[in-house]
Chain A
Amino acid sequence: DTEVTQTPKHLVMGMTNKKSLKCEQHMGHRAMYWYKQKAKKPPELMFVYSYEKLSINESVPSRFSPECPNSSLLNLHLHALQPEDSALYLCASREIGQETQYFGPGTRLLVL
């Protein structure tokens, strides 16, 4: 099973809402990632977790709050987002020591 799942597939939220994106993998990978992708642009790295600890934060605004409750799950908590935060949010995972990152299908977020 080389699958990374993400829920929900689509999300519409207001600027005052609080919502969460969820990512799950059962491949035993100990590195997990969040990327943001705007329309017609390449994915941009946001956060990296290694062994459930945050290892890279690419200067992401605090209205995005990642959480890694266990080795299979990665959440992205959203609060007070702006319309320009509308994008496809991609999750990925990788086995430490291996090269390949496996990406999920993404959550398409629209902030109104």
Chain B
Amino acid sequence: DAKTTQPPSMDCAEGRAANLPCNHSTISGNEYVYWYRQIHSQGPQYIIHGLKNNETNEMASLIITEDRKSSTLILPHATLRDTAVYYCIVRRNRDDKIIFGKGTRLHILP
């Protein structure tokens, strides 16, 4: 079981913030939320992860609700190169298994 629910596709205008939601209502206390993306014909790329605090790095921000049942990945200024499938994953820290769900196909519109 992927244990996450994401919209199958989203559109976002170039230069705007892309907000990708993820529901993980059965998340356990020791499970982290991870985001990866896969650009067409490439391998998946790690974006960010978090436990309960909001996180930010050079690629994106991760906002996790206080009850941890959902989260949002924010790409602050989307570009055409951000067009990809974005996967939200929950797993225990350092657990070897990554179980990918169906992901959200994000289209950045010029």
Give the distance to chain A from B11, nearest Cβ to Cβ, in Å: 18
- Supposing A42-B87, A99-B49 touch, asked if A105 and B43 sit within 8 A by C-beta, the answer is yes
Give the interface size class of chain A.
Answer: 20 to 34
Choice from B45, B94, B97 contacting A99 with Cβ under 8 Å = B94
Cα A1 to Cα B103 with chains together (Å): 28
Contact A48 B43 (CB under 8 A): no
Tell me the complex Cα distance, A101–B45, Å. 8
Of the candidates A45, A100, A105, the one whose C-beta lies within 8 Å of that of B42 is A105
Chain A residue nearest in CB terms to B91:
A99
| CB neighbours of B67 from chain A (8 A) | none
- CB neighbours of A104 from chain B (8 A): 43
Give the nearest-CB partner of B47 in chain A. A100
Nearest CB in chain B: distance from A56 CB, A:
6
Q: Chain B, interface size: which category?
A: 20 to 34
From residue 39 to 61 of chain A, which have CB atoms closer than 8 A to chain B?
41-45, 48, 50, 55-56
Q: Which of B41, B43, B94, B101 contacts A103 (CB 8 A)?
A: B43
A76 at the interface (CB under 8 A from B): no
Complex Cα–Cα for A65 and B41 (A): 25
Q: Which of B32, B34, B43 contacts A90 (CB under 8 A)?
A: B43
A69 at the binding interface (Cβ < 8 Å): no
Chain A residues lying within 8 Å of B42, measured Cβ to Cβ, are 105-106
Spell out A's residues near B (CB within 8 Å).
Answer: 4, 31, 33, 41-45, 48, 50, 55-56, 90-92, 97, 99-106
CB-based closest 4 A-B pairs? A103-B43, A42-B100, A100-B46, A48-B96
Besides A33-B96, A101-B44, A101-B98, 14 other A-B contacts (C-beta < 8 A): A41-B102, A42-B100, A43-B44, A43-B100, A50-B96, A56-B96, A90-B43, A92-B43, A97-B94, A99-B46, A103-B43, A103-B45, A104-B43, A105-B42
